[in-house]
């Protein structure tokens, strides 16, 4: 797929860029709060005497809640846009954090995880739609900037866990409710902008929803993109859920040192996410997907056998290359399903969470029975499934 230069280069209006930055910042705030859950696993494991299966169940509860609801939210908002649903999603996340700080049982931890997952389900489809509306035609850039906020938040979460929550205890998680309040204010402003844009466009003809390929080919291509997303996010879940345990066991690191190692990977993923979209605008989303899939394979295969220094180096390289594909995957899917931005966001952001959550639960079972190093030996082969990219069609420029 190649995007036409005329579709990729309109100049941004100041208010448009401000909206893009606003939804990206809120994506960062949202994912800071969400990433705290995974970052706190070593602490929760100790406080509640959890095993790896229960750790996996926490991840699955959070991510599958988001996965099941996001496509539904996307379908509904494609037909009936809900600009002011975004602050509601942020409020749910805030409630989940407060409950997480006060939970006295594993069951309440699961409820807290589900509230955070519900917040994610509401946030992503409508905020992704706002990002595309504010893109000025540079859809790859807009997706990258939007997702950069999310990846930056995911990377910052472990640092906050290491330097705030670990020293001050589980109850300090409630302090991050102030982040949610800031997000609610910003999203209220973005919702007003979105409502204004809808009024301005009320007299215009709706965008064409005609498919660029025969329906069977579109469904096949979507299936391949979903496989790529599943592969990527099961691998990412293996890092976000168990990487700290892996480096603690293999290299005898402290919890804080292990959190810093996780930050290296997640920070590199944020850089890769931002780079992937603009490159896709210039060379095509299909090119970026190919580069990401082929480029990561040798490094993923080496990671389980590296020493401490090269584990850090490889985690940076893997995070940067692997993350670059996701903005391109979303843009490619939006081109396959024109006029269905909410559905695409719901499927791919939601499926990303769901696949990662199911993978985390399965990997947790293996970690308990076979050991954490065995898990990383197995997941190193997952990127090979990405060779299915060869089956993606080439879309005509428009």
The alpha carbon dihedral of 133, 32, 94, 75 has a sign of: positive
What long-range pairs does 35-38 form, CB within 8 A, spacing at least 24?
35/153, 35/154, 35/155, 35/156, 35/157, 35/158, 35/240, 35/266, 36/97, 36/100, 36/157, 36/160, 36/161, 36/165, 36/173, 36/176, 37/62, 37/100, 37/112, 37/113, 37/116, 38/157, 38/240, 38/241
Percentage above 90 pLDDT, the chain: 13
Q: Residue 184 and residue 386: Cα distance in Å, rounded?
A: 38
Q: Region 27-41: what's the mean pLDDT?
A: 82
Q: Of 19, 24, 14, which Cα lies nearest the Cα of 196?
A: 19
The beta strand positions in the chain, using DSSP E, are none
> For 3-12, 222-231, 278-287, which range has the lowest pLDDT when averaged over its residues?
3-12
Domain membership flag for residue 398:
no
216: exposed, middle or buried (Cβ count in 10 Å: 0-12, 13-18, 19+): exposed
d(CA 71, CA 357): 16
pLDDT over 80 (residue 374): yes
- pLDDT reading at 316 higher than 50: yes
Q: How confident is the model at residue 299 (pLDDT cuts 50, 70, 90)?
A: very high
CA dist., res. 186 & res. 86, Å (int): 10
Q: Does any domain span residue 267?
A: yes
Report d(CA 38, CA 58) in Å as an integer. 9
**d(C-alpha 373, C-alpha 366), whole Å:** 10
pLDDT digits (tens, 9 = 90+) for 68-125: 788 888 888 888 877 788 898 899 989 998 898 888 889 999 999 999 888 888 888 8
Q: Is the pTM of this model over 0.75?
A: no
CA distance 379 to 392: 24
- Per-residue pLDDT at 313: 94
Query: Which residue range(s) make up the domain with 235?
Result: 13-200+208-391
Residue 8 lies in a domain: no
In a domain, 125, yes or no: yes
pLDDT for residue 66 is more than 50: yes
Q: Looking at residue 353, what is its pLDDT?
A: 60
Strand, coil or helix: 324: coil
CATH number at residue 361: 1.20.1250.20
Each residue of 184-223: pLDDT tens digit?
A: 999 999 988 888 877 776 666 666 677 878 889 999 999 9
Of 182-186, 224-228, 268-272, the one with minimum mean pLDDT is: 268-272
Average pLDDT over residues 214-233: 88
What spatial distance separates the first Cα and last Cα of the chain, rounded to whole Å? 10
Question: Which pair of structure tokens corresponds to residue 162?
Answer: 């290491």
Whose tokens are 């592969």? That residue is 231
- Name the domain count of the chain: 1
More confidently predicted of 15 and 327: 327
- Residue 5 forms part of a structural domain: no
């Amino acid at each position: 797929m190649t995007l036409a230069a005329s579709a990729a280069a309109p100049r941004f209006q100041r208010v448009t860029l401000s909206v893009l930055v606003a939804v990206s910042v809120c994506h960062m705030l949202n994912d800071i709060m969400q990433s705290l859950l995974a970052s706190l696993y070593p602490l929760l494991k100790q406080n509640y005497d959890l095993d790896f299966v229960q750790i996996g169940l926490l991840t699955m509860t959070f991510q599958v809640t988001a996965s099941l609801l996001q496509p539904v939210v996307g379908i509904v908002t494609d037909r009936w846009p809900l600009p002011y649903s975004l602050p509601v999603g942020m409020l749910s996340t805030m409630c989940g954090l407060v409950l997480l700080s006060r939970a006295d049982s594993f069951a309440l931890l699961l409820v807290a995880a589900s509230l955070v997952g519900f917040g994610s389900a509401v946030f992503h489809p409508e905020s992704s739609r706002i990002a595309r509306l504010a893109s000025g035609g540079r859809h790859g850039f807009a997706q990258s900037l939007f997702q950069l906020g999310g990846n930056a938040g995911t990377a910052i979460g472990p640092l906050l866990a290491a330097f705030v929550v670990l020293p001050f205890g589980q109850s300090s998680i409630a302090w991050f409710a102030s982040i949610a309040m800031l997000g609610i204010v910003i999203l209220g402003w973005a919702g007003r902008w979105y409502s204004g844009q809808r009024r301005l466009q009320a007299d215009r003809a709706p965008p064409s929803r005609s498919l660029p390929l025969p329906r069977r080919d579109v469904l096949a291509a979507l299936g391949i993109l979903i496989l790529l997303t599943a592969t990527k996010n099961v691998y990412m879940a293996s890092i976000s859920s168990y990487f700290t345990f892996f480096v603690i066991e293999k290299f005898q690191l402290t919890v804080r040192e292990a959190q810093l190692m996780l930050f290296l990977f997640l920070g590199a993923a944020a850089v890769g996410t931002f780079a992937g979209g603009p490159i896709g605008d210039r060379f095509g989303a299909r090119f970026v997907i190919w580069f990401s899939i082929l480029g990561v394979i040798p490094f993923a295969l080496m990671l389980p056998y590296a020493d401490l220094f090269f584990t850090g180096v490889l985690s940076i390289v893997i995070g940067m290359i692997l993350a670059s594909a996701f903005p391109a995957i979303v843009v490619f899917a939006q081109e396959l399903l024109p006029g269905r931005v909410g559905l695409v966001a719901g499927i791919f952001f939601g499926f990303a969470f769901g696949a990662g959550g199911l993978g985390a639960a399965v990997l947790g079972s293996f970690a308990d029975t076979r050991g954490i190093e065995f898990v990383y030996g197995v997941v190193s082969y997952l990127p090979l499934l990405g060779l299915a990219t060869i089956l993606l069609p080439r879309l005509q420029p428009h």
